[in-house]
Chains A and B, each alone.
Chain A
Amino acid sequence: MKVGKQTIKFETLPCIFSTSSMVGPKEMQGPLASYFEQSSNDIYFGEKTFEKAESKMLNTCINHLISKNGLANNDIDLIFSGDLLNQCISSSFAIRDLEIPFLGLYGACSTFCEGLLLSSICIEANVAQQIIASASSHFCSAERQYRMPLEHGNQKSTTSQATVTGCGAALVTNSKKLDNGIHITYATPGKIVDLGVKDMSNMGAAMAPAVYSTIANHLNDTDRTLDYYDLVITGDLGVHGSDMLVELFKRENIDISSKHKDCGALIYDTTVQDVICGGSGCGCVASVFSSYIFNELKNKNLNKILLIATGALMSPLSSYQGETIPSIAHAISIENEVK
């Protein structure tokens, strides 16, 4: 049901039944290492190319999610998945042999929330009962896609973020499977916001206004305040973009800094790991939510969260042609036992 201007209320309370995550070596050196279910010390994940490595990682992650819940592939009605590579090849090749109906998504780094949102809509409409939403990214394949191949040995600018090598998958079901009762209660799909930032190595700054817009509209539509939530978690604003978000809320005399965490800042220790402003990429919010945050929800350390995945919707080509960076942010309200 639509509430307010752009928010969807889920009356059937779709449930995030289970999650699975897999990451690369650098993420395992970060503070969340103990939360990730699977990892690889080899950045190639045993494959010949980085693109194949990304598909392998996502495939392993999805297979694990299905098998650990005692399900078979044909129990899954639908997969929504996306990544950062041209034509979404990481997802397509990861899901190629699974024989599960597949809908590919592109929302840049907002893909994971886009998938959760669409899964919830399908559950609400009762057109599917068990859906997987997943997303992946790989540092090395993303460098080739967006910047230069690693062989080029490019230097990073001081505001740039490092693409996370990781993926996450969530099993979204109807609330009849009420084991843990982690529900998706509201979703606010974002509008594109573009304030004219052109710098591809400063995407946090481009995305912060989109996050602000989505949070403000979400709170308006749901008649909630920030106090309602235990935590507001953004996808990959990074250190620089997070500062900007705090600044934007300060203008409205709201202090979000105590409630806000960013997956890009959580996944790495920016003081010792050479990542400059933190992590980014589809896999950032996907892997952090599917591990650490889902765990916190399950253990009731967190009960009401607003998860906001952010996407910078440019391509290298649009940047070459002097275009600015259109940004988007989708918010999902995830709550424990709403009764």
Chain B
Amino acid sequence: MTYLFVFITGGIICAIGQVLIDKTKITPARILSLFVTLGVILTFLGIYEPIVNFGKSGATVPISGFGYSLFKGTVKAIEEKGFIGIFTGGITATSGGIAAAIVFGFLASLFAKPSLK
């Protein structure tokens, strides 16, 4: 059952992105930034947390989940460190994802070459 919820949640988030690509003139880079920012705002408004509880990684793996982690990390850091947490919290909480993206990107570049589809 959990898998189904994850699939549905992740699917809906990605479907929204697909509709934006097909039906609007927003560029992919802007859709990406939009999703991150929306993740932050929805978490702030208390809307994203219930979605994460329902859809688990279906909500945290898409890029809006990155916004969710940014917000959560910032709040946590403010509680622990006070004012300086505003600046350190977001990146600390997401550092695993960022470093992994760089490392795996590097590894992939060692044995893969871009080509035509």
Asked if B25 and A155 sit within 8 Å, CB to CB, the answer is no
Asked if B22 and A157 sit within 8 Å, CB to CB, the answer is yes
Binds B, one of A83-91, A145-153, A183-191, A245-253: A145-153
| Interface status of A230 (Cβ within 8 A of chain B) | no
| Interface status of A139 (Cβ within 8 A of chain B) | yes
CA distance A199 to B115 in the complex (A): 26
CB distance from B64 to the nearest CB of A (A): 18
CB-defined contacts of B21 to chain A, threshold 8 Å = 155, 157
Asked if A150 and B115 sit within 8 Å, CB to CB, the answer is yes
CB-defined contacts of A155 to chain B, threshold 8 Å = 18, 21, 28
Q: Is chain A's interface secondary structure helix, strand, loop, or mixed overall?
A: loop
| Interface status of A225 (Cβ within 8 A of chain B) | no
CA distance A200 to B29 in the complex (A): 13
CA distance A201 to B28 in the complex (A): 12
CB distance from B19 to the nearest CB of A (A): 12
Range, interface on chain A:
10 to 19
B18, B22, B25, B114: the one contacting A151 at CB < 8 Å is: B114
25 of the cross-chain contacts (CB-CB < 8 Å) are A25-B116, A43-B115, A43-B116, A44-B113, A139-B116, A140-B116, A148-B28, A148-B29, A150-B114, A150-B115, A151-B109, A151-B114, A154-B28, A155-B18, A155-B21, A155-B28, A157-B21, A157-B22, A157-B25, A158-B22, A198-B25, A199-B25, A200-B27, A201-B25, A274-B117
Q: In the complex, which residue of chain A has the Cβ closest to the Cβ of B26?
A: A157
- The count of chain B contact residues (Cβ–Cβ below 8 Å) is 13
- A 39-67 binary contact with B (CB < 8 Å = 1; else 0): 00001100000000000000000000000
**Chain A residues close to B by CB (< 8 Å):** 25-26, 43-44, 139-140, 148-151, 154-155, 157-158, 198-201, 274
CB-defined contacts of A43 to chain B, threshold 8 Å = 115-116
CB-defined contacts of B27 to chain A, threshold 8 Å = 200
- If A157-B21, A200-B27 are given as contacts, then 6 extra A-B residue pairs at C-beta distance below 8 Å, sorted by A number, are A26-B116, A43-B115, A44-B113, A140-B114, A140-B115, A199-B25
CA distance A199 to B27 in the complex (A): 9
CB distance from A314 to the nearest CB of B (A): 14
**Chain B residues close to A by CB (< 8 Å):** 18, 21-22, 25, 27-29, 109, 113-117
CA distance A210 to B101 in the complex (A): 44
CB-defined contacts of B109 to chain A, threshold 8 Å = 151
CB distance from B69 to the nearest CB of A (A): 22
CB distance from B43 to the nearest CB of A (A): 27
Q: In the complex, which residue of chain B has the Cβ closest to the Cβ of A149?
A: B114
CA distance A151 to B18 in the complex (A): 19
CA distance A154 to B28 in the complex (A): 7
CA distance A151 to B112 in the complex (A): 10
CB distance from B23 to the nearest CB of A (A): 9
CB distance from B30 to the nearest CB of A (A): 11
The 4 closest A-B pairs by CB, nearest first: A150-B114, A151-B114, A199-B25, A43-B116
CB-defined contacts of A26 to chain B, threshold 8 Å = 116
CB distance from A39 to the nearest CB of B (A): 14
CB-defined contacts of B18 to chain A, threshold 8 Å = 155
CB distance from A315 to the nearest CB of B (A): 15
Q: In the complex, which residue of chain B has the Cβ closest to the Cβ of A200?
A: B27
CA distance A201 to B26 in the complex (A): 10
**Most central of A25, A150, A157 by chain B CB within 10 Å:** A157
CA distance A140 to B27 in the complex (A): 19
CA distance A136 to B76 in the complex (A): 55
